[in-house]
Chains A and B, each alone.
Chain A
């Protein structure tokens, strides 16, 4: 997979607000999607996943929405906390193949 980006888009929110991070994916054949959180100097941390036969999935404080028509994925974080500050990547895959990562969005939570 490829993803290029020297400048990450940044989403700045106030503590306690809800955050929405968006991602456009490229492969219409992708059937598995994941959101990862990456803190500086660390590996990606699994947040939530969704398969193509679903359009919404909820976790603890997080919701992923999938719109296959426009190939769009979003991550909603409720009651955003300072510890949520990180770079968030969406990733797509077909079957058990390797993931293709998006370029990432930096979330900054202001106290």
Chain B
């Protein structure tokens, strides 16, 4: 139980394009979803927290107009990287929690912007 999936697992795009990453909780209802970013050899850094049906809360330094987050249902949250640039290349990981505090992580999406 408590499986979280992400799609795609990897994506390569051209600079200036937008990329959408999906995060799904497969067997539980995720009242809260979190988006993290991880650069090579570094730890996970929280980007934003989203609750179903409400606007996401972004961490300081994360541009909300660049990283659009939608949590439209209890099983799906999406992160759209708009006008991507090479410095946005990273490993994006979502996590989801239901009615307990435990966060379950997705497998991550590796974004490479050329």
- Apart from A3-B44, A36-B105, A95-B101: 5 A-B pairs, beta carbons within 8 A: A4-B43, A41-B91, A98-B49, A99-B46, A104-B43
Q: Which of B44, B49, B110 contacts A44, CB < 8 Å? A: B44
Does the CB pair B43–A102 fall under 8 Å?
A: yes
Does the CB pair A3–B43 fall under 8 Å?
A: yes
Name which of B34, B43, B101, B106 has the most chain A CB atoms within 10 A of its CB.
B43
Does the CB pair B107–A43 fall under 8 Å?
A: yes
Does the CB pair B41–A5 fall under 8 Å?
A: yes
Q: Describe B's contact surface by its main secondary structure.
A: strand
Interface size class of A (residues with CB under 8 A): 20 to 34
The answer to whether B102 has its CB under 8 Å from any CB of chain A is yes
A43 to B91, CA, bound (A): 9
The answer to whether A34 has its CB under 8 Å from any CB of chain B is yes
Q: Which of A41, A45, A46, A99 contacts B34, CB < 8 Å? A: A99
- Nearest Cβ on chain A to B76's Cβ, whole angstroms: 17
Q: How many residues of chain B have a CB within 8 Å of chain A?
A: 23
- Nearest Cβ on chain A to B55's Cβ, whole angstroms: 16
Residues of B within 8 A of A (CB): 6, 32, 34, 41-46, 49, 91, 93, 95, 97, 101-108, 110
Q: Describe A's contact surface by its main secondary structure.
A: loop
Does the CB pair B104–A6 fall under 8 Å?
A: no
Given the complex, which residues of A lie within 8 Å of B49, measured CB to CB? Answer: 97-98
Does the CB pair B32–A6 fall under 8 Å?
A: no
Does the CB pair B44–A93 fall under 8 Å?
A: no
Does the CB pair B41–A6 fall under 8 Å?
A: yes
Does the CB pair A43–B108 fall under 8 Å?
A: yes
- Nearest Cβ on chain B to A88's Cβ, whole angstroms: 11
